[in-house]
Amino acid sequence: MPSAATVRAKRRTTPAVNPRATHLALALRCVAEQSGEISRAGIAAGTGLNRSTASSLIDELIGGGLVREVGSTARTRAGRPGTALALRPDGPAGLGIDVNVDYTAVCVVDLTGKVRYKHVVAEDQRGHGTREILDRVDRLARGARQAAEADGLDLVGSAVAVPGIVDRAGATVTLAPNLGWRDLDVSDLLPAGAHGERAALDNEANFAALSEAGLLRAGGSYLYVSGQIGVGAGIVLDGELYRGSHGWSGEIGHLTVDRNGPPCPCGRRGCLERYAGHEAILRAAGITDGAGTTFGVRPTADLITERAQAGDPATLAALAEAGAVLGGVLAGCLNLLDVGRLVLGGIYRQLAPWLAPEVEREVAAHFLGAGWASPEVTVSTYGAEAPALGAALSVVRTIVADPLRWLTR
Ligand SMILES: [Zn+2]
């Protein structure tokens, strides 16, 4: 028989299930899934709740500024048309900031998941002081906030993506090798939401992976690989990010391909990004002139694409080699994770016509289950903007997942 102390400890650690919180989240999810096409009767049918309960939940969501009434639903066989319900596009919104190696991007997303503002500054951060980088981020965030206010949005929270591992609880970038950041406290940089909420900090590939799952955590289980100057990955299991014990999962760019390989900014040798990162591909293709940045006026992925389309042998060989090394590492990841889908994001999205066949070949050769089930190799919905978009989405996702917390803030 458990002791009284054990029972008390259990009570403290088991989260209380609040039926109202669950029901509000269910009702809001139904609205989000069929925004503009569902009525109160539809909510009752979709949630299994009785009509009066469903109706009072909707009243609460309307009162809290999350849902609005928009005309009538179509007449169905079940009966008369009802008042159609939709998520409020002028309700709470999220700000996402992506501080990457060669660009900084900001993005505002409204409650429906729609992008309402975005701005990119393409500039290689290397060679610039940390203070300078953080000031640039601050300016971009202020511009986004002004644009959101002018658009009538309530910017309630923000999230910042960085190319490295972070201490999410303490607002510290633990290590971002390509920016030269180590144990850097960025709490000054993290803008507070309109109601004082502190911004979230996470790895850029994690946020990019979230952009793929969207507002409603769709897409099942997949590994999202983000090709940038570095290479990151986001592990999504049943629509949720798997962050690992410290939040450091997905550092695929620093998996060792060759212990005696070229040195990496992380201090080790022969990491994946030295073979399949953006700069490694440029170097192998012999592209040294006219190179821009990952994202901006003239993205270098465009340059690689143009040369590959023209049949430039060095570029084709560089892409084949990068794809093969990437595929070998991804096959190892599949042996470990057994997810059904690989998503090629960042610059890999654009370079997929050349990289994907190599990845598929390596996966077929080295994934143990390949004879029975081949994972799908797909391209991401969004390109270089994915981390900023996913960061902004993460803010509104928390509201859709737990509206009661929002309504009682
Ligand atoms: Zn490394």
CA of 376 to the centre of ligand 1 (A): 27
pLDDT tens by residue, 37-82: 899 999 999 889 999 999 999 999 999 999 999 988 776 555 667 8
CA of 52 to the centre of ligand 1 (A): 58
CA of 127 to the centre of ligand 1 (A): 19
Total residues found in the chain within this entry: 409
CA of 247 to the centre of ligand 1 (A): 18
Cα-flanking dihedrals φ and ψ of residue 215, to 5°?
-65, -35
CA of 13 to the centre of ligand 1 (A): 39
Interval 320-339 mean pLDDT: 97
CA of 335 to the centre of ligand 1 (A): 22
Give the model's confidence band at 229: pLDDT under 50 very low, under 70 low, under 90 confident, else very high: confident
Q: What percent of the chain has pLDDT over 90?
A: 61
> Which pairing describes strands 222-227 and 341-346: parallel, antiparallel, or unpaired?
parallel
CA of 347 to the centre of ligand 1 (A): 19
CA of 267 to the centre of ligand 1 (A): 6
Tell me the C-alpha distance between 98 and 355, whole Å: 25
CA of 272 to the centre of ligand 1 (A): 7
**Residues whose CB is under 5 A from ligand 1 (ion)?**
254, 264, 266, 268, 271
The single-letter code of the amino acid at 30 is: C
Question: What was the pLDDT predicted at 193?
Answer: 61
Tokens of 210: 């979230």
Of residues 125 and 223, the one with the higher pLDDT is: 223
Question: What was the pLDDT predicted at 131?
Answer: 83
CA of 328 to the centre of ligand 1 (A): 17
CA of 266 to the centre of ligand 1 (A): 4
Estimate to the nearest angstrom the gap between the alpha carbon of 328 and the chain centroid.
24
pLDDT tens by residue, 336-352: 999 999 999 999 999 99
Domains, the chain, ranges and CATH? 4-87 (1.10.10.10), 92-213+387-407 (3.30.420.40), 222-381 (3.30.420.40)
pLDDT tens by residue, 368-409: 999 999 899 999 999 888 999 999 999 999 999 999 988 887
Tokens of 319: 């892409």
Tokens of 310: 């023209």
DSSP 8-state assignment for residue 409:
-
Tokens of 62: 């309307």
CA of 111 to the centre of ligand 1 (A): 38
Rounded to two decimals, the pTM is 0.87
Q: How many C-beta atoms surround the C-beta of residue 192 within 10 A? A: 11
Name residues whose C-beta falls within 8 Å of residue 360's C-beta, 6 or more positions apart in sequence. 327, 374, 377
